[in-house]
Each structure stands twice: as C-alpha cells, then as structure tokens.
Structure 1
Amino acid sequence: MRRLTLAVLLVLTGCSSGGADDAVRFTAVDLSAPPEALAAHGDSLVIGTRPSDHPELVTRDKGGVIGNSRLTPASPYGREAHWYGITSDGTTITGVGGQRGGAHGNVRWSAWTGDARQITEKPQAFSTFGGYGAGELIGPVRTKRGPLIIGTWESAKAGLDIAVWTYAADTWTRQPSAGTVLESSQELLRFPLGVAPDGDGAIVTGWQIAKGVVSAAVWRFDGETWTTATLPDGDAALAARCWDGTCHVVGRSKGKLAWWSGPEWTRLAVPDVPVGDDQPLVAPVPVRGVPTLFVDHGGVRLVSEKDERPADGPSGEVVAAETVGGEVFVIAGGRLWRTS
C-alpha cells in the first residue's frame, strides 16, 4: 500500500527536543533502485522498487541477505508501473501498481500476486478498475478472508462510494457498496485515504462531509461486516496501524496533527504540528512497543508520546516504514534505512 506507516514531527517551542546525543542511528540499506513501498513478509521485508522505467520486487531476509523476486508483467502498463502498495499474509504477496497513460492521463492499474520467489501481474478486464464510473485505488490489504483492494467507485446516489474488491481464481471482483456504511449519499459523502490490516480484517481511514461539516472517519471490517466511526475533533484520518488490540490513527485537525487511539477513539495529546491539506501522513510503527512517528522536518525525526528525537542518517521525505525481526525500516529521501 503507498500510504503505509509514518507521520509528522516538528521541533516545538515549549516541548523537549532531542539533541544530537539523543539521535537514533540508522544505517542505509543498499538497493539497486529507489524503493517505493514496504511490507512485512514473515521474517523478511518485501521492498517494492522502481528503476527508471519498470517495477521490481526485492526481499531482505532476517540475515540481511537481499534477493530479487522474479517479476512477470502481463500488460504494457504493468511493465511500467509504480508501486502503490504491497501487503502480505506471510505466504502470499499482493501488490497494486499504477502508471498514468491514455488520452486523459488516468492511472492504469495493475494487480500482482505471488511470493518471495515470483510475483505475477494477473490481467484483469479493463472495467475491473477502469472505465466509466472508476475512481482511484488506495491499496491492498490482507485479511483472514483473503486480500482486498480498497478504492473508490461512482456512487448510485452521490459522488463516490468506498469500494472493495475481493480476489478469487485470479480475478478481482468489486463488491456492492449500496446499503452499507461504505455508500455515499446526498447527505453524506465519504472519502477514503488509507488502508491497513486490523486483526482479521481491515481499517480504512479518511474523511466525510455531512451538511457542510467535515469530519475524520474510519471504516472497519471485522471479516464479515463493515462499521464506521467519526473521530472526535478531526478533519481527516490519514493513516492507521493496529497492534495488540489497539489501532493508532493519525490525521489532521484544523491544520494540525491529530492522533487517535481506538477502538474507543480517544484523541491523544500531541505536539502542535502543522499538517497541510494536501500533506500525507504515514502510520505510526511500534518501536520497543511505543507508537512512534517519523517525518522529515530539517532532517528525519521520531516522535512518541514520551519524547522526540532526531534520526541520524535519513533525510528527505519519509514515505513508508515497517517493522520486521526487531528492526525498523524507513524509506526516506528515496533510500531505505534501518535501525534496531
């Protein structure tokens, strides 16, 4: 998934700010191409990379050995795709790729399935993800009932519905949103922005607008049904990560960073961090069990409820993070970094 695991941080007036002696040291992981997406695959890390004109999939095992999966595209746009998201259940890897093209410059989507040895684009009918009524794909997510792809599709009532595709026999099938909490209406428009695993199911983060009032919202799938919740004092929920029965959601409230803890959806006290309307956040990751955020602000920094510290090594925009085998991996500035 492209919006996977990070958030925002600033050096704040009136808040403790770690100095150079408190810096968390990272080591660069040498790759042959820039990384775009990360996913845990058992004890290994799966890395979606892209050289100048085609996608690649790389694995790093618990011993640090880098290997390449055999990538088999099935369409012209699959051969040129960027990675929008990758997910794994520890056995099967599912990926979503995209590349803009055609007369209108829309994203042409590709869906990938395989394992650490080989991942193959499974060709789909054009109308599966494209054509009249098509919206965007947010990314894939693994659940107990199999992988899902989350995106949007034209609503029968108003705007776009949140859309869910399921997978069977090499085919992705969009499920009806009508009559569920994923459906938009004249009274309530829904906008998904991110997706993450949540126990046996999934959690979708985003925002909604009703009677001119904008609010942050989440939609949760328990493996059988979807439910929704409005998050207190929020404008948008941008990313989530769930572990040990708690979901940590980060987003925006009145131009500032907001952080909620669910399932009660308590708004946590966090530093006064500006978050722009078009600024993505990526979900917290557990660092020694502590929910921790990463972002580039005069250098990559880490923030938790306890403190904030600089990262020694990474610089540039932070776009993904993952924890595997007691290590934290971060994509920042077009490079992959790791720390224990």
Structure 2
Amino acid sequence: MRRAVTALVGVLVLLGGSACTSPDEPPEDPTPVAVGWEQVSLPVPDGPAGRVGVRDAVACEGTWWLVGTVFTGGDGTRPAAWRSDDDGRTWRPLRFAPRAYWARRAVLSSVACRGDRVVMVGAKSGGAHGNPRVSTWYQRGDGAFVDVIAPFPLFGGVEAVSVERVAAGPSEWLIAGNRTSGAAVWVSQDEREFELVDDDPALGRDERVDTLAIAQVHDGEGWTVVGSGQVEGRIVPMAWVSPDGRAWSRQEVPAGQTFTELQRVAATGDGVLAVGLRDGAVGSWRRTGSDWVAGESFGPLDPDRAAFAGPSGLVASGDRALATASDGTSYAAWATLDSSSWRPVEVPVNPAAGGGRVLTVAATDETLLLLADDGLAGRVWRASWPAG
C-alpha cells in the first residue's frame, strides 16, 4: 500500500545560513520571534451562502492571488479565489465559470503565477469510489476562471494515487504527484493542456525503490522535485532534477536514522532549501550546486499525535525562508534569522491538526501572508518580514 500524502500543517521558518545545533537536535529553549501580524478581510464571493476556506496564495508582479473554497453546508463546496493589488491589504473575489460537474464543487488547493498568467488546481472527492476529481483552471479573456476539460485518466483513473501542488517556471507549469508506477509530474506550456510524465525511469519505481513525489520548485535553471522512497521497508528522502520537466535524474539526499521524507522545497539565493520529517522532528536540508547537506532539526513531533504531522508550506527570499508544519496535534511556527538557530514564531492562531485544518504561509521579498483555517473560519494575516 502506498502512503497518502497530506500536507496542511504549520511551522514558520525564516532561514539564515548555518545553524549552531546538530542536524539531529532541536534548539533548546529558543526565544520566540515576534511578527506584527495584521488580519485582513476576505469578502464572500457571490453565490450560495457559506463560510470561506483558504488554502494557498502566491504573488507575481505586485498582484496577490489567493485560492480556497466556500463551504455551503453539509458536503457542499464551490471554488473561490481572491485578488489583491495593494500588497495583500484589500481583496476582491474572482469570477468562476465552471463547466464540469465536479469543477463546480471544487476546493482550490494550489495556485501558481507567471506575470499576469495564473494556474489553479482543485479537487472534489466523489463518484462511486469517493476519489478526488481533479481540475485545473485558467483565466479567460473576460477575467473569469474556467476549468480545463481533460480526459479523466489524465489525473484519475485506475493508476491514480495523488495530485499535489502546481508551480510556475520560466516557460512551463509543473504539477507534482504520483501514479501506481511511482513519482510523476504533469507539464504544461499554455495553462490548458497538461501532459502526464509517468514513464521516466528516474522518477518511477524500480526493483530497488518505490518512489513518492510531494513538492517541486524551479530555481531559475531547472526543476527540483522532492519526496521519498521506500527501500526494504525504510522511508528515505529523495530528490529529482530536470531542465524541462520531462527528463529527470536522481540526487542523493542525506537520510536520518528512521523515517525521513522531504515535503516542501523552495529556491534560495544560492540553491534550494527543503524541509520534511527526520527522526521524529521537522528537519531541514540545503542544496548548493548538486550537493545536499542536512541542516538543523526543529519542531519535535508530539509522541501522542493523532493526526498527520510534517511541513506543508515553504517560501524563501534570499537567505530568509518560511515554512509551515504540524506536530501531529496542533500547528506552530518557527524561525531562524541571520544564521541564528531556528526559533518559534508568534502567530495569531494555532489550529488543531486534522482534516480540513490549515496553517500555511506565502511571501514576496517584502510581505508575508499567513493563511489559517480552523474548521470554523478561513482567515488571512499579513506582515512585513521581521528584522534579523
């Protein structure tokens, strides 16, 4: 049985450089980082009444895009998204023109942008087997967002396992995910037609390892996908690189003593940063050139956890970075500034971990957005990056 990957969890990480503690030891009694969070209002989009849920955000060329859903009661949902042109202070709802049955009920979970072009990914579980019905979205000429009518086996079908997030590169869009053959990606040039790549020998499973892809980033030179592999019953971290999203090669990543998995990745000033699970805590890794090095561990997991634990969001600006994760019981926040050790970060809400609960982060070089959903309300806060 393959492991299902869910990453709606929360730890903030502001990354500096080298850490002063062992990669296997969380910092002792760190002083919390204060961030001046300011809550902003999200108007409910026109349509059936309900409460707002938030899932992801991204910014390009001064415009923020925020995606989620409106919960309309019972199992009812409809796609929702907002735009801000004043650095996240005020938001206006976007229009949707869904065509497919499941698209009209989609929860939008991921968004990416390049210039003024935007791609959204959403899903709604349903049908005879209750599987997620995935849809991708692009913006029509009149401003409305429309779902792409795609063949069901592209994201679903008997070989479906999971569809993760979408990311933008200089010339293509890429979605990471998994099929029964192992790790896979979907690539598109024009926001409308995604091509499934599930037959690359480096990505897929082989006689030695069963692969799993979770997250991806373009570092300006090529794509990096991160995840894990199962080798003789042991879970080890894995990373893949590609110049175009179609031909891939594997990279060696330092593993821990027990369960180790990369779950989020972001480009930094001199390479990439990844965070994931390592030996009962959230761990970090850096890659400069093609060499991965294990960094400091932080955010130990709750030994009595009853929900999924691990990081869910990661953004970077130069030497700074932010990530989100859960200890398996509740969400928390952490930071490291100017090469100091990782420290907890003050946040206005710490939702309990569990299905449909969210604490995640997005950022530009100037601004942070904190997105939270505790099952009762979806809320957004903004702040400037704290000083080092």
- 1:279 pairs, out of 306, 309, 316, with 309
CA gap 1:315/1:28 in 2 versus in 1, 3 angstroms: farther
- 1:199 pairs, out of 211, 217, 220, with 220
**For 2:70, what is the secondary structure of its paired residue?**
coil
Give how far 1:25 is off: 2.0
8 Å contact kept, 1:68–1:117: no
Are 1:30 and 2:56 an aligned pair? no
Map of 1:139 onto structure 2: 165
Residue type of the alignment partner of 2:333: R
Q: Alpha-carbon deviations, 1:204-250, whole Å to 9, x = none? A: 22100223442111112223642222321241001111122321101
- Counterparts of 1:1-340 in structure 2, within 5 Å, are 3=7, 7=11, 15-18=28-31, 23-32=34-43, 33-52=52-71, 53-62=77-86, 64-114=89-139, 117-155=143-181, 160-168=182-190, 170-178=192-200, 180-223=201-244, 225-234=247-256, 235-263=260-288, 264-271=291-298, 273-274=300-301, 278-286=308-316, 289-295=319-325, 300-304=332-336, 306=340, 307-316=342-351, 318-324=358-364, 326-333=366-373, 334-340=378-384
For residues 15 and 197 of structure 1, the distance between their equivalents in structure 2, rounded to whole angstroms, comes to 34
**For 1:124, what is the secondary structure of its paired residue?**
coil
* Bigger shift: residues 146-155 or 284-293: 284-293
CA gap 1:325/1:271 in 2 versus in 1, 3 angstroms: closer
* Bigger shift: residues 82-91 or 205-214: 205-214
**For 1:271, what is the secondary structure of its paired residue?**
strand
Could you tell me the percent identity over the aligned residues? Answer: 17
TM, length-normalised to structure 2: 0.76
**For 2:78, what is the secondary structure of its paired residue?**
coil
Residue type of the alignment partner of 1:31: L
Residue type of the alignment partner of 1:134: A
Residue type of the alignment partner of 2:62: D
8 Å contact kept, 1:136–1:152: yes
Residue type of the alignment partner of 1:56: A
* Bigger shift: residues 164-173 or 223-232: 164-173
Give how far 1:140 is off: 1.4
Give how far 1:118 is off: 2.9
**For 1:79, what is the secondary structure of its paired residue?**
helix
**For 2:310, what is the secondary structure of its paired residue?**
coil
8 Å contact kept, 2:186–2:196: yes
Give how far 1:200 is off: 4.3
Q: Pick the structure with more strand per residue.
A: 1
CA gap 1:292/1:43 in 2 versus in 1, 3 angstroms: same
CA gap 1:174/1:295 in 2 versus in 1, 3 angstroms: closer
* Bigger shift: residues 266-275 or 68-77: 266-275
8 Å contact kept, 2:26–2:300: no
CA gap 1:254/1:193 in 2 versus in 1, 3 angstroms: same
Residue type of the alignment partner of 2:309: Q
For residues 7 and 205 of structure 1, the distance between their equivalents in structure 2, rounded to whole angstroms, comes to 19
For residues 193 and 261 of structure 1, the distance between their equivalents in structure 2, rounded to whole angstroms, comes to 17
Q: Alpha-carbon deviations, 1:47-106, whole Å to 9, x = none? A: 003111201110111353322222121111101111221111122111111000011000
The number of residues matched between the two structures is 330
CA gap 1:31/1:135 in 2 versus in 1, 3 angstroms: same
8 Å contact kept, 1:205–1:239: yes
For residues 323 and 197 of structure 2, the distance between their equivalents in structure 1, rounded to whole angstroms, comes to 34
